[in-house]
A and B are shown apart, each in its own frame.
Chain A
Amino acid sequence: MNWPGFSAIANAWWLLLLIPLIIFYFLKLRRPRVEIASLALWQSVVNDQRVNSPFQKFRRNILLWLQMALLILLVLAAMQPFFVGGSARSRYLPVLIDCSASMAATDAETGKSRLDLAKQRVREVVENLLPDQRVSLIAMHSTAQRLTEFTDNKRILLDALDQLKIRDLPSRLEDALRMTQVLARTVPVESVLVYSDGNFPQRVSFDLPFEINYQQLPPAGPNAGITAFNARQTEPPKWDVFLRVESSAALAGTVSLWQDGQKLGNATFVLDAGQSQRITFDVESDVSSRLEAKLEVDDGGYDSLTADNVAFLDLPTARPLRAYVDPELTSYQHALQGAQNVEMFPSNGSAGNGDVRTAAYDLVISSKLDGRSIDAVTRLFIGVIPEDVAPLIVMPVLTGLTEFIDWDRSSALLQHMQLRDVQISEDVTKQPGVEDANFEAAGYSILAHGNNGPLLLERRTGATVEYFLLFQTENSTLPYRVAFPIFVSNAVQIARQEAGISEVRASKTSVLPPREVAADTEYRIVTPSGESEAVRSGKDGILNGVAAFESGRYRIMDGGSEVVSIAVSLLDPLETSLASVEQIQFDELSVKAADELLDTDRPLWSTLAAIAFAVLLVEWWFFQRPAVG
């Protein structure tokens, strides 16, 4: 048998109040004075043996007993007793609540979402909170959000719990644990409660400094959803639109595609558990249009998650790529001339025309730094060293042979390229003491290393990406290698993707893709659920960093007019699969989901207070009851 514990046992001193209570009772203080004709009769009553018998004495003092019981109950309640639960008791308890998209999955029978269940369980923890315990609620999705400080204020905790909403985002346990680790530096955190459906990567790269109590929520019903949505332009104005549908159970249904509110067609799918199906639609569009894919399961099936049943894709206006190449870069001009759907400027008739430099392009290949003045989303500088990189490199560039020592093969610009046999007659050399980190600190990524320094740098600024080839191509054997046309082709592909004219992918939730708007202007972002948020664009005219926690269309408003709208979709195969991890593998150990529900300490003070109130009522009734006889 577990004896109850006491959180505030010092309050037992209040039991000493029993002494004055008894004294005052027998001193009969505050008795109402009643003048009567004579005490003769009452004196004889008091002298009666029956009145003075022990039982009668007890009956006469029953009010005293009730008052003593009331006092004892109140003092016991003040001592904050609690039944000791099975789990270890922590004074500071962070509670991580998964509110990722999969937590919205509902149960076919109860219709309750996983988040509802999690809230219900966390509510029990909060309501059974002991006076010396502090809880901090942390919402967990693609990142972590601290909902409350460590507090014992149940109202604050329950309010925060009520306001917790589903985010149409994948779940990442690491961020939440790292935030908890930061919290653990200020208060002693021994264990952490995690309420999740287990829909996160099994391996978590984190060294646990505390215990994890992983409360896995029961699985939801079956689910089918759209996990990929993109389009590729075949030949203008034709687009191939691809969708991927996945299912967590055997389900059949239909995917319909809508263009600007008009239905283009249906496609059926029949899937077993864990299977996926690729669905293709042919769409013609020479102007920008909005595509929306909707998934519906057949009658009789149950789809537990709605967030992945719809996906959005904005098709751009079909047009060829506009590329500006400096006239002196003849090798690049030759390389681009054979490329399909590429309009190269300056053309033969407009060479040197100033209007050409002021027009907007998708790709700029320039041998001068003033190429930055040309409006483009992708710029490739040949033999140009940016001003902020110049102090890091020995200037002027030395003459000497060098070659590509290493390069980032996964980079979009250098993919499928073999640079080993390229000889360069310029030796780009780092200043003594300069490390790669200095380039990164300046905002540049090194894509290729030479013998003594970097050869190719990448810099992304807002919606613009710039590549700096630090040597002149003509001073190398690159134009004569097979890698050169691949290099130019990669640049074109990057430009196409950056401009979004050849292949578009549906944007995912989390953060809205950057958009070029007026510089330093305040815009109002209207979310799909109708909430609005004020965001200010940067001085570079880029609006970025706008949170997009729910799938749907976000409208960027300038005053009352819509500037642009951006749609984002969940499109996460893991969330759609509703897969559940029963064991989390950390760097050094693994944590299994708890077998039983969390048995928290149950405070008893409210029960004792209720009993005390009942005793008070009995005492009141006993004192006021009509006289018998």
Chain B
Amino acid sequence: MQRPFRRCRAFSMELTSSKPRLTGLLSNETLARVERMRLVPNRRRTNRAQGEHLSGKGGTSIEFSDYRDYVAGDDIRRVDWNIFARLQRPYLKLYSHEEEMHVTVLVDASSSMRSEEKFDRARQLAAAFSVMGLMGGERVSVFACNHSGAGPEMETRMAGRVSTRRVFRFLENLEPGGDVPVEHAIESMLRLHHGRGIAIVLSDFLTFGDVSRSFNLLYSAGLELFALQLLGPSEIDPEITGDVRFVDSETGDALDISSAGELLGLYHEHRLGLEQFLGEQSRKRNGRFVSLSSGKSVERILFETLLRQGWVQ
């Protein structure tokens, strides 16, 4: 009875594979669905340039937004005279302003991302977020950091559908390796970045350093933080017993652990503590945080987890 089913699956794969894929990162179906999705920021931080995102400030579009008191220096042409006639007080009529938002994607390409498909999942998500930004008429910049001291690899200020190929090529050519901590990667990215909007950080956030400062820098740069922590299944639920010697994939440092099985409870406490810390740090800066397993498919992450949590729509 399973045979016809397998044949159907094979047939559907033939159908999908009959059309050339635009990128190896995402299937055509996923890409098609992603193109219709948009990022949902908490606050509208936009560039001055015209865009599709409605600005929170008053603007010149025809869509009414709000009223406010007139203050000295305001353009009297925007005073609502009908209200003034009724209330004998000047009020300014505000209109929604559609402005461009800068979507910045930072991919942690250090060695720690190499294990358990974390880097692949990060590239897939980066591609998806970039496509959402480009299809939403935003400017998109993609950064990848790996080696300390070296500047990040980047593809910046892309806009429009035509830039999707650049994004895909950039991400497809990325190679993991290096020892840069995520907080340093953020800081080095901010030195090269201009523009307000969203900063999507894809990393495992397994760092000895403190990310608070880099989160502050993101906030003060007018970037709303979208922090996605990608952990491998064995990092989420390790199955280790006895005495082991852990070796750091980035630094090569070793750490001897005795009775690792005994310490798994504490490990889970610390992992959840890290998640909680990252979440608090993000929320304090009007950002968002989610911890994901690299064992999950990119489709489940996008169309279930992030959609349900309102990261995208």
- Report which A residues bind B (CB closer than 8 A): 28, 31-46, 48, 50-51, 59-63, 623-629
Contacts and interface: CB of A to CB of B under 8 A. Distances in A.
Given A60-B259, A61-B258, A629-B265, A38 B250 contact: yes
A38 B263 CA distance: 17
Contacts of B249: 35-38
A63 B259 contact: yes
Given A38-B207, A41-B206, A628 B118 contact: no
11 contacts: A35-B115, A36-B246, A36-B247, A40-B206, A41-B270, A42-B267, A45-B267, A46-B263, A51-B266, A63-B259, A623-B241
Interface in B11-27: none
B291 to A, nearest CB: 13
Given A34-B245, A625-B241, A628-B261, A41 B271 contact: yes
Given A33-B247, A627-B240, 19 more contacts: A28-B245, A31-B256, A32-B242, A33-B244, A35-B246, A35-B249, A37-B113, A37-B206, A37-B235, A37-B250, A39-B246, A41-B271, A44-B270, A45-B266, A48-B266, A48-B270, A63-B258, A623-B241, A629-B264
B255 interface: yes
B106 to A, nearest CB: 18
Interface in B79-123: 111-116, 118
Given A45-B266, A628-B264, A39 B241 contact: no
Contact of A28 (B238, B243, B263): B243
B5 interface: no
Contacts of A38: 112, 204, 206-207, 248-250
A614 to B, nearest CB: 20
Between A41, A43, A59, the greatest number of chain B beta carbons within 10 A of the residue's beta carbon is seen for: A41
Contacts of B254: 33
Contacts of A28: 243, 245, 256, 258
Between B118, B256, B261, the greatest number of chain A beta carbons within 10 A of the residue's beta carbon is seen for: B261
Nearest to B241: A627
Nearest to B253: A39
Contact of B207 (A34, A35, A40, A48): A40
B268 A629 contact: yes
A306 B238 CA distance: 76
B267 A60 contact: no
A46 B248 contact: no
Contacts of B260: 627
B103 to A, nearest CB: 27
Nearest to B235: A37
Between B239, B246, B255, B268, the greatest number of chain A beta carbons within 10 A of the residue's beta carbon is seen for: B246
- List 5 tightest A-B contacts by C-beta distance, closest first: A629-B265, A38-B206, A37-B112, A627-B261, A31-B245
A34 B206 contact: no
B22 to A, nearest CB: 30
Contacts of A50: 266
A61 B239 CA distance: 20
Contacts of A623: 241-242
B208 A628 contact: no
B257 interface: yes
B259 A37 contact: no
A34 B115 CA distance: 12
B257 A37 contact: no
A623 B241 CA distance: 7
A452 to B, nearest CB: 104
A42 B271 CA distance: 9
A62 B261 CA distance: 13
B197 interface: no
A36 B248 contact: yes
B118 A62 contact: no
B192 interface: no
A39 to B, nearest CB: 4
Contacts of B265: 628-629
B258 A60 contact: yes
Nearest to B263: A45
B270 A34 contact: no
B232 A37 contact: yes
Contact of B243 (A31, A36, A42, A626): A31
Contacts of A629: 264-265, 268
Interface in B262-278: 262-268, 270-271, 274
A36 B231 CA distance: 11
A624 B251 CA distance: 30
B118 A37 contact: yes
A62 B266 contact: no
Given A40-B207, A40-B208, A35 B262 contact: no
B245 A33 contact: yes
A358 to B, nearest CB: 101
Contacts of A60: 258-259, 262
A31 B248 contact: no
Nearest to A44: B270
A626 B254 CA distance: 24
A62 B243 CA distance: 12
A45 B265 CA distance: 10
B119 to A, nearest CB: 10
Nearest to B111: A37
A453 B282 CA distance: 137
Contacts of B267: 41-42, 45
A32 B240 CA distance: 11
B244 to A, nearest CB: 5
A59 B247 contact: no
Nearest to B274: A41
Contacts of A37: 111-116, 118, 204, 206, 232, 235, 249-250
A160 B240 CA distance: 55
A369 B63 CA distance: 165
Nearest to A50: B266
Contacts of B256: 28, 31
Nearest to B255: A39
A365 B251 CA distance: 122
A100 B250 CA distance: 87
A302 B259 CA distance: 70
A224 to B, nearest CB: 74
Contacts of B238: 627
A176 B112 CA distance: 86
A50 B241 CA distance: 19
